[in-house]
Structures are given as C-alpha cells and as structure tokens.
Structure 1
C-alpha cells in the first residue's frame, strides 16, 4: 500500500515571496521608482550595506552608477554616510535589512539623522515575517523600536503601488523616514481601489457594516481577501489601510473607533509596539473606550521554516484571519 504524498510548502529563505496564488505582481518597484526619481532630481543618491540585489537597489545602481555607494557590511557607516550626504544637500536612500537598520544602527539613525532633522531615507528589507530565516533576520519588532524616535516617519506599504508612490513622497519629507520594503516580485493590488499614497493619511479601501479591519503593509492584501471570504458568511467587512504608522492618521482611526462595528487591527509585526498599540493609544488618549481585536505576531522569537507555513502558524494567513474575525463575532 503506497503512502500518499503531501505537497511541501517551501520558499527561498533569503528572497522569500509572500505572493498569494493568482496575485498580479510588479518586479522591483522600489528600485525602478528610485531610478525614475533620480532622472528628475540630480540630488538623489543610493547606498546599501552589501545588499543591493536583496533590496532592489541594484536597479538604481545599474541606471545611476555614479550616484550609487556600496558601503559593505557596515550598517553604522551606511547611516552615518547617508546623514553626511543629507547635510550637504543630497537626498539619500539607504537600504539594508530591517533588523540591521534598527538593531545595529539605531544610534546612528537617531543622532546623525533624526536629531538634526535630515532627510535620510532608510529602506528596510525583510520586515516582519517576510523571510523563512529565524530571529537573526526576522524584523518583528522594527516598528516598536523606531516609533519612539522623534521626527521619524514610518511607512509600511501594502504593494507595488504603495512603494512606487511612497518613494517620491518620502524624498519630500523634512526629516528621516523608514520604509518597510517589499522586494522582488511584489503584488499589485491597490490599483483596483482608486488609491493614492499620502504621507500620514489612511485610506478606506472598502466599507462594511459589521467589521472594520485596520491594516498595514502586506496584511492589507490579506485583509481585502478576508473581507471577500467573510462576505460568504454574511459578514460585511470594511478595510482601512494605514500605510503610515507614524505620523498616524488619528482622524481616520477615531472615525473607526467611534463606530459600533467590530474593530480588528491587522499587522505583520509583533503585537507589542506596532499598529495595534498605535491605534489603541490613539483611541485611549482621545477618550474613546472600546475593545480592539489584535491580529499580529506573538511577543516571542519566531521559528524558521517555509513562509506559508509560518504565516499560518502565527495567524497571518487569510484563513487564520477569517477564523479570528468569526470567532470574535461568535459566528
């Protein structure tokens, strides 16, 4: 008697893909957007810490080799050099993995860029649970680390549309910025929703009578998919996409918080210090007392393995999100 074979869920650990089956994609949206911006603005420069290929900075490097700087495996030098360039009028975009930009080089970002208010744009690859590698590369607490830094703008884009529009917008911000990068073949979703990225603004992608999913980053794609699935259960779900974690769109959050709908925050980040806590504190500080249901990564170091398996294990899959909402509604 033969043993039935099971389909193995695998993914490349270093260049993981979170694209769900059937999703349209756009190749290297960050690299191409930065290259286009550089054609219009000669002060744009690109830097990386030995991770050009893995942060799509290689596209910029090929198009503008005289404005690209390879800093090697030295993240402190990367951010310090970017701050020096900003000091003399250049607009740097510096890319590395999120864990290295936040854990290793925090002091350089804080004192060299944030304290003097320089437009240094940090581009962090592999944010949250977007790699099958373990805690050494999973930046599950990057937003929590950076939210307390004065003057820093934090953007968690949903897809290629968000990234392409965020790049020129962040170049206009007065102080430093941090972009959670989705790289490689990035899903394209928001072009179907009459959407435009604006720093500090949330966008209501769909309305709903029963539930509002307040989401950021790649989880907005999952929120939209979950909303369609929940309609089969006769649950009407709205989705509020929050691409800018800081500064938070408090008006949009308060509108949702003052409604009588179930509010679920959905993020690819630790339950500690991310979007959920930002929303909760916004409501509390404005006297809006209500329950929130957080969908986020647990406060622990996560396992290594195949990305689809990890997303399901830690509650980020569409299936798990649908179940969490139904459980909250006791359906």
Structure 2
C-alpha cells in the first residue's frame, strides 16, 4: 500500500502565491520577519521586488497592506495566526475591515498543532475574533489541494479574507477529479443518516477516519467539510441536520466562537437538533509534539470517535 502524501497547508500557501504571482503583476506579499516559517519566502525568492518584510511589527504590516490595497494592488500579509488575529486585531478591524479593503491575511501556525511553540503561539481564538469583523471572509482549508484553491479564490474575490493555515503536514484528501472549491459552500464527503459531523481544517481527515470507526459500530455518519467558516453554508448545514437529527462539529480551535458556534447559531434559528461541539474546551494549549497534543486534547480520530460515542450514549 502506497504511503499517503502529506504536506503542511502553510507550504501550500507559499506555493500558491508563486503560481498566482506568475499570472498577476498586482499581487504583493508582506511578511513580519517570518518568511521562512510562513513559507512566503518561496514567493520572495521568485519575486523579490514584490515581497516586503515589515519586520517584527505585525500591526504596522496590516496598515501597510491596507495602504497598498488602496492603490489597486492585492496584498497578502502573512504571519502566525496569534499575531495576525491577536496582536493586529485593531488594525485588521479598523484599517481593513471598516473600509472593506481588498487585503488578504495569510495566517499560519494556527491551533494546537503548532506543537512545541506552546500556548503563547497556539492560537485557538482566531476564527472567533475574525468572525466578529463585519464583511470578513474566513477560510480554513483541510489539505494542500484545498489550500491552493482557497488562495486563488481569495485573490479573485474583492474584500478582506482571513486564510488559516497549519504547521503540521497533513494528508492530501481532495486530490480527485470532481473536487470543486467555492467560497461559502461546504462539501459532503460522505453521506449518512444517523449523525452529521461538520469539520474544518486538519480535523476533516480525522473526522473521516472517526466516521469509519463509527460505521463499524453501526452508526451511519455524514461528514461535511466546512472550509469556509464565514460566510457559512447555512443551507447545507440545515439540510443535513434536518436529515440526520444529530450534529457534531469538529475543529482545531476553541469551541467558543468558531465553527461550533457558527453552526449552533444557524441551527438555533433554523433547525434545533441535539448537538456536540468538539474542539479546545476553554483552555490554553501547552508545549509538545503536534501529534501527541492532538491526541491529548482528543482531536485525533480516536478522540473524536470516543466523544461522538459519549454524545450518542447520553
């Protein structure tokens, strides 16, 4: 059996920027002294005249990107999620969101899987923060194929976009001929009748594996990839919930304000059903190997399987 191809979505981000850069002269990339880690260094090597290192000054970088956007160029500004959504929140809100400028934020190293960098760098709050900014589009791709498609789609749309990428190499699961990426549209990866799992980011693959384990227990699971957190595909969420009558959300993010919050809000207003949110439960992360942390926080396939079973047995 051949080994599953794995690649970190931050790597996909850097590669996608280079491909777009070849086609579009108006694409500019900014970084905050982290080009090697965010993989925008790949773009810098290809187009040094269109790469700006703003130094360790993330808030200023967002302001610079906002200014560049007013000239008609399309800036992608990049740093770790903790700094893009956390440190620079005010600038993202007031300098990008409020005037609705065409700035794309490439936030890497999101979630628990940042690993050894520990709690200060494991941003589990970024989706919640970005969701509160009016007009902000939020995309959290599940693999290399989806990440590349997301970067291209972000470039092509007008308005601010928050792109969430990971440090950990994850399996490529969308390398099929019929794959289609569309902002704001979820993807049904597996149909089922007993329960729906809505997953995002690296948790999509883990949820697919958990669904296989649940099937062996006689539970028919529908798995839906929600790559766009905002705007949420409310129609698909409601349709699936109406079909299966039970819903679980899975994300490498706080259960407060992320995918779980978005789905809960949609269902509360349209189709209230029993629901379980799986994610980081109101706690900070810690330093350790990424795979071990996902296991400890029950965000791997086994942990998801166990939590779903607990939910079903209530």
Place the TM-score, normalised by the shorter chain, in its bin. over 0.9
The CA deviation at 1:290 is: 1.4
Q: 1:84 aligns with which of 37, 51, 67?
A: 67
Q: 2:57 aligns with which of 66, 74, 80?
A: 74
Larger mean Cα displacement after TM superposition, 51-60 or 174-183? 174-183
Q: 1:282 aligns with which of 266, 271, 277?
A: 266
Q: 2:79 aligns with which of 96, 117, 142?
A: 96
User: Unpaired segments of 5 or more residues in structure 2?
Assistant: none
Other structure's SS at 1:191 match:
coil
Is contact 2:196-2:244 (8 Å) kept?
Answer: no
Is contact 1:159-1:182 (8 Å) kept?
Answer: no
CA distance in 2, matches of 1:249, 1:46: 30
The CA deviation at 1:183 is: 4.6
CA distance in 2, matches of 1:193, 1:256: 24
Q: Residue deviations 1:166-185, cap 9 Å, x none? A: 11100122211100113574
State how 1:1-331 maps to structure 2 within 5 Å: 22-26=3-7, 28-132=11-115, 133-183=117-167, 185-192=169-176, 194-286=178-270, 288-330=271-313
Is contact 1:31-1:59 (8 Å) kept?
Answer: yes
The CA deviation at 1:259 is: 2.0
236 and 260 in structure 1: CA distance in 2 versus 1, 3 angstrom threshold: closer
CA distance in 1, matches of 2:16, 2:86: 27
22 and 314 in structure 1: CA distance in 2 versus 1, 3 angstrom threshold: farther
The CA deviation at 1:192 is: 3.9
Q: Residue deviations 1:67-96, cap 9 Å, x none? A: 111111000111011111111011011110
179 and 218 in structure 1: CA distance in 2 versus 1, 3 angstrom threshold: same
The CA deviation at 1:314 is: 1.1
User: Unpaired segments of 5 or more residues in structure 1?
Assistant: 1-20
CA distance in 2, matches of 1:237, 1:257: 12
Larger mean Cα displacement after TM superposition, 240-249 or 220-229? 220-229
Is contact 2:113-2:168 (8 Å) kept?
Answer: no
206 and 159 in structure 1: CA distance in 2 versus 1, 3 angstrom threshold: same
Is contact 1:35-1:60 (8 Å) kept?
Answer: yes
Q: Which runs of 4+ in 1 moved over 3 A?
A: 183-186
Is contact 1:56-1:184 (8 Å) kept?
Answer: no
The CA deviation at 1:328 is: 2.2
Other structure's SS at 1:94 match:
strand
TM-score, normalised via structure 2 length: 0.94
Is contact 2:186-2:224 (8 Å) kept?
Answer: yes
Q: Cα RMSD (Å) of the superposition?
A: 1.7
CA distance in 2, matches of 1:234, 1:290: 21
Report how many residues are paired.
310
Other structure's SS at 1:131 match:
helix
